[in-house]
Structure 1
Amino acid sequence: MASKVIHALYTDDDVLMDAVKQVRGEHYHIEEIYTPFPVHGLDKAMGLAPTRLAITSFMYGCVGLTVAITMMNFIMIEDWPQNIGGKPSFSYIENMPAFVPIMFELTVFFAAHLMVITFYMRSKLWPFKEAENPDVRTTDDHFLMEIDASHKDVDEMTSFLSNTGAVEIKVIDKQEDNH
């Protein structure tokens, strides 16, 4: 199923920010914004919810810490206790200071690696995925705002967007990806 979107190109990030505020003020739905560099405050201007990736990172770190404690207790205390330098390994608590670096490293390892996987899954960045950049100028010096126009008056939206400072406006029939 195809839907209509409007691509409005801007040449300045400050003009883009003002345009985003005006478009949101008119209650038009912004699908996506493509920029050549991160624009500070754009997520807030678009009304995007704060990310919850930090919460998942903490949970992944807790999983790593749990794996480290369980692994060290089993390997060094239960399965194969060793007398190293006259210090017997009869309990986990007695040897915990020696285990702190391992606990730290596995916490960081799990948090970092699982966060990368989570980020790629959340962003739908699969291996060999085709780029979804609608205009190659957005990788150099232009900013593109993609606005849903399937249930709106396209001529009215086009004239409104030209008043916001857009240097180029295109109406596109976009194919929806149902994968």
Structure 2
Amino acid sequence: MNKKFVLGIYDDEDVLLAAIENIRAAGTKIYDVFSPYPVHGIDDVLGIKRSRLPIVAFFGGLAGMSFALWMQIWMMGFDWPMIIGGKPHIALPSFIPVTFELTVLFSAFSMVIVFFIVSNMKPSLKVNVFDKRSTDDKFVMAIEVKEGATDMEALNNLLRSNGAIEVNEKEVVK
């Protein structure tokens, strides 16, 4: 299935941010914006909601902490109890380093796994680069064109009037 896009090329991030606001205010849905470096505030202007990865990190860390404490209490208290230096079998202060490490490990792994699943990133992923200059020095705004529902001339004029130095059309195989 082929999708058609109109690409607005920008060379200044401030012009791009103003253009995003104006184009969204005009009722045009922006598919995505590609930039050579992170632009501060672009998520808010595009209307992208805050990530829920911190929640995943918290529950992953909670699982890691629970697993570490359960593992150490089971091993040192019930499975193979040893008296080391006269300490009790279940000495929680000595469990802190391992508990901390497994909390961090489970938290990090859970975030990475959930990020890859949500982003649909897999080894066989073929990335469509809309314009190679977006990896170097230009900003690219992609707007999806619906057959028969989008006025191409009006869209081109809208992009140019909002500071686009170049407007292109591209078909992408999805």
Superposition TM-score tier, normalisation by shorter sequence: over 0.9
Comparing 42-51 with 121-130, greater Cα deviation is found at 121-130
Aligned residue identity for 1:140: D
What is aligned with 1:51?
Answer: 51
> TM-score, with normalisation over the residues of structure 1?
0.91
Partner of 2:28: 28
Question: Does the alignment pair 1:174 with 2:172?
Answer: yes
- Unaligned ranges ≥5, structure 1: none
Matching residue within 151, 155, 158 for 2:156 = 158
Backbone CA RMSD of aligned residues: 1.3
The structure 1 segments of at least 4 consecutive aligned residues displaced by more than 6 Å after TM superposition are none
3-state SS, counterpart of residue 170 of structure 1: strand
Q: Secondary structure at the match of 1:30?
A: coil
Residue 140 (structure 1) aligned to one of 136, 154, 173:
136
Q: Kindly report which structure 2 residues correspond to 1:1-179, keeping only aligned pairs within 5 A, or say none.
A: 1-89=1-89, 92=90, 95-150=91-146, 151-176=149-174
* Paired letter, 1:14: D
Count how many residue pairs are aligned between Structure 1 and Structure 2: 172
SS in structure 2 of the partner of residue 162 of structure 1? helix
Q: What is the one-letter code of the residue matched to 1:119? A: F
Is the 1:34–1:133 contact (alpha carbons within 8 Å) kept by the matching residues of 2?
Answer: no
Q: Which moved more, 1:158-167 or 1:1-10?
A: 1-10
How far off is 1:128 after superposition? 4.3
